[in-house]
């Protein structure tokens, strides 16, 4: 049987675009990374290296780069690897796709003004195209170094889910399928806020017990909110929920965790994000997810605490103290 995806385009020449290229290149005869920075694109084409993101990685020779979004139209699969804030604009600018082109969202967040998930945006812009999502404990640095992990592919069409699963299978990469796109995307989006919270707790010098307790309560909160927003409870117990929550709350690779750590050390939000030089989705997503929780009427004390630190100037230690001193309640509520 011929491969469903002999070639693909990846939008975004950042950390995750690079990692996806390393992972998928062995399975594709043609792979183009599409970015907006000419210097990055030229460098990938001339030396197979990205001078800004994952600089030490040498991409396989057949991976090309381009600044032209229209180059995506030649491929049966387009992966969205740009930050969530850029997804709608990139989709709007992406013209000339056939109705069969599969669109795979790899970003983790919901849209600021609408609260929409990335797959919802892609369906709005491309109502006739198949749309799928991928998520899980997938730090770009580790995938690009061929370190083992797993992911979950979300698609409502079973055949599409299996084709993508086949593509996302490698000796060091195992993927699962699910039809719960909402649960998968919400887990990936909401965990970013908790990774900031865990970083803040570590920066404040709280111990392992406190951080374990925080992350456990974060999982309960993520599940409560995610179910209210349309996901299934069991999905939050899976790779895109607790799996990614653990990966980001405890990893030195997590940009969200690093932002939290800097805040816990007393840096301002601006100082914490500027020194990062990469996207930390939890920063804009604290706003969008805090909004979504408010509209859904869901109790989210940890998200509220992160919101108050990032956007209301509350000192981190004060917010953490308030979290601990709330009214006592049973665990499973």
Ligand X SMILES: O=C(CO)COP(=O)(O)O
82 near ligand NDP, rule: CB under 6 A: yes
Q: Which two tokens stand for residue 146?
A: 């061929």
Using CB under 6 A, pick the residue from 138, 165, 286, 288 that binds ligand X: 138
Q: How far is Cα 164 from Cα 269, in angstroms, rounded to an integer?
A: 38
What's the angle, vertex CA 264, arms to CA 263 and CA 266, rounded to 5? 65
Using CB under 6 A, pick the residue from 75, 139, 224, 290 that binds ligand X: 139
CB of 40 to ligand NDP, least distance (A): 6
Give the helix/strand (H/E) hosting 323.
helix 316-324
Cβ neighbours of residue 209 under 8 Å, at least 6 residues apart? none
108 near ligand X, rule: CB under 6 A: yes
Active-site position among 27, 191, 252, 267: 191
Ligand-binding site membership of 61 (annotated): no
Query: Active-site residue 252, yes or no?
Result: no
Residues numbered 7 to 66 that lie near ligand NDP (CB under 6 A) are 12-17, 35-37, 52-53
Q: How far is Cα 265 from Cα 237, in angstroms, rounded to an integer?
A: 31
84 near ligand NDP, rule: CB under 6 A: yes
R_g of the chain, CA atoms, integer Å: 19
Using CB under 6 A, pick the residue from 4, 220, 278, 287 that binds ligand NDP: 278
CB atoms within 10 A of CB 313: 9
CB of 318 to ligand NDP, least distance (A): 29
Side-chain half-sphere CA neighbours of 251 within 13 A: 18
By residue count, the chain amounts to 333
Active site residues: 191
Q: Which residues are annotated as a binding site for sn-glycerol 3-phosphate?
A: 108, 136, 191, 244, 254-256
Residues of this chain that interact with ligand NDP (CB under 6 A) are: 12-17, 35-37, 52-53, 81-84, 86, 89-90, 106-109, 138-140, 278-279, 281
């Amino acid at each position: 049987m011929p491969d469903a995806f002999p070639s693909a385009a990846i939008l975004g020449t950042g950390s995750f675009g690079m990692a996806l290229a390393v992972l998928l290149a062995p399975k594709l005869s043609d792979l183009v990374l599409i970015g907006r920075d000419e210097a990055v694109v030229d460098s990938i084409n001339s030396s197979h290296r990205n001078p800004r993101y994952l600089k030490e990685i040498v991409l396989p020779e057949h991976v090309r780069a381009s600044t032209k979004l229209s180059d995506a139209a030649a491929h049966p699969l387009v992966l969205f690897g740009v930050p969530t804030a850029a997804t709608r604009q990139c989709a709007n600018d992406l013209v000339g796709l056939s109705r069969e082109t599969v669109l795979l969202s790899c970003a983790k967040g919901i849209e600021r003004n609408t609260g929409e998930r990335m797959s919802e945006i892609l369906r709005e812009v491309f109502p006739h195209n198949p749309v799928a999502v991928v998520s899980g404990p997938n730090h770009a640095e580790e995938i690009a170094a061929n370190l083992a992990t797993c992911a979950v592919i979300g698609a409502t069409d079973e055949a599409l889910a299996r084709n993508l699963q086949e593509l996302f299978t490698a000796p060091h990469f195992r993927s699962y399928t699910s039809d719960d796109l909402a649960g998968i995307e919400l887990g990936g989006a909401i965990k970013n806020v908790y990774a900031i919270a865990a970083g803040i707790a570590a920066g404040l010098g709280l111990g392992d017990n406190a951080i374990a307790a925080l992350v456990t309560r974060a999982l309960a909160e993520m599940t409560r909110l995610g179910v209210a927003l349309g996901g299934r409870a069991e999905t939050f117990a899976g790779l895109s929920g607790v799996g990614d929550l653990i990966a980001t709350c405890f990893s030195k690779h997590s940009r969200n965790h690093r932002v939290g750590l800097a805040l816990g050390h007393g840096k301002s939000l601006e100082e914490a994000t500027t020194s990062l030089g990469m996207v930390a989705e939890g920063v804009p997503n604290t706003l969008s997810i805090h909004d979504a929780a408010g509209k859904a009427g869901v109790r989210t004390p940890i998200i509220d605490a992160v919101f108050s630190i990032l956007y209301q100037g509350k000192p981190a230690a004060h917010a953490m103290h308030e979290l601990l001193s709330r009214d006592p309640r049973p665990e499973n509520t």
